[in-house]
Homo-oligomer: A and B are copies of this chain.
Amino acid sequence: MAQNDPATLDSVAARAGVSRQTVSNVLRHPTRVADATRDRVLDAIRESGYRPSLPARQLATRRAHAIAVRAERQQDGISGLVLDAFYHGLAEAGQHNGLRVLLYPQPEDEAAEVATIDELVHTGAADAVVLTATSADDERPAHLRDNGTTFCAFGRPWGHDDAPHDWVDVDGAVGTSLAVRHLLDSGRRSIAYLGWPGDGAEPSTGSDRRRGWLEVVGHAALGAPVEAHSLNDAAAAQAAVAELLGRPDAPDAIVCASDTLALGAHRAALAAAGAGAPVTVVGFDATPVAAALGLASVAQPIDQVAHLCIDLLTGRFETPDRPARGLLVPPVLRLPS
């Protein structure tokens, strides 16, 4: 099948009795080539086991046909899973679009990361970047914009609604509102929220998730909304919820901003199981932990997010000047099986 030396455009051309460029056209612009010629060339390609050389193409087109994404340093924890799925989604969607996915190790800080990305882009290793874990005080988007680097963020430009860059995010408010509705439907009357510190104030992932809860709970008019806050740590969450359950207005359900918090809440609920009615806990991220504990949890459609990121990027490659676009996708509530 394959020759001794790997086949090239020229060797295939010779074999098919056409010119180099015609072979190239068969591959990249099939319509430009006459049917008979194309078949002949395709045969020659098959017989010789030809594979186009990526580096050569990159050199000629000045496109890397690759995007870069950060390989997160050791995660805090439970939602690490989500990133795994995101990587897979990117790789898959990228493959469909002729984009390879490059991993770069998370640098010390944001400045170093911008430098890393700059390096990647300017050496021609990648055409663009997908930014993950964006936050309100994130300096990366602005720097990348200044650099003229193409990128798409997974995560809204919190607090910078005018930020002229592409992004995709999951609608956390919809997620928590789904959770509350589900709990109302199953007869819960007093639904508390367990979030992170500072959830109320600045726009953030946390405040977004809290808002969804508050809207539905407020709408249902079930008395004053009850909430607690804790760092994203199961033990801390457990303590916070234990306190909550000791109060006179103890809730009969808790919507949590993460599965880590949900785990803590679940343990507190178990501990308090003796006294009072059972408390239902709903998590966020639908990690295996929630599944294992038999908790409902809000599932982010990570795969969809990844595909949309790729869509936005490929779109921008084609039309560099089109206005920035932000896409908000709804999560779903995953019930315990």
Contacts and interface: CB of A to CB of B under 8 A. Distances in A.
A123 B54 contact: yes
Contacts of A106: 88
Contacts of A137: none
Contact of A73 (B6, B66, B88, B94): B88
A81 B88 contact: no
Nearest to A84: B80
A186 interface: no
Interface in A60-88: 64, 66, 71-78, 80-81, 83-85, 87-88
A88 to B, nearest CB: 4
A104 B122 contact: no
A9 interface: no
A17 interface: no
Interface residues of A, number: 53
Interface stretch (A149-157, A169-177, A285-293): A285-293
Contacts of A264: 292
Interface string A206-217: 000000000000
B100 A292 contact: no
A278 to B, nearest CB: 15
A85 B78 contact: no
A91 interface: yes
A59 B124 CA distance: 13
Nearest to A6: B122
A91 B75 contact: no
A77 B71 contact: no
A58 B123 CA distance: 11
A95 B102 contact: no
A125 interface: yes
A107 to B, nearest CB: 10
A55 B58 contact: yes
- Determine how many copies of this chain the complex contains: 2
Interface in A250-264: 260, 263-264
A92 interface: yes
A101 B103 contact: yes
A189 B106 CA distance: 45
A315 interface: no
B289 A71 contact: no
Given A73-B88, A100-B103, A234-B291, 15 more contacts: A51-B123, A54-B64, A71-B88, A72-B84, A76-B288, A77-B291, A78-B289, A83-B84, A100-B102, A101-B104, A235-B292, A260-B288, A263-B289, A270-B270, A289-B292
Q: Report the 9 A-B pairs with minimum CB-CB distance, sorted nearest first.
A: A77-B288, A55-B58, A234-B292, A91-B105, A92-B105, A71-B91, A101-B103, A80-B81, A71-B88
26 contacts: A51-B123, A53-B59, A53-B123, A53-B124, A54-B124, A56-B59, A71-B88, A71-B90, A71-B91, A71-B101, A74-B88, A75-B85, A76-B288, A80-B84, A88-B105, A90-B103, A91-B104, A91-B105, A95-B105, A100-B125, A101-B102, A234-B292, A260-B288, A264-B292, A288-B289, A289-B289
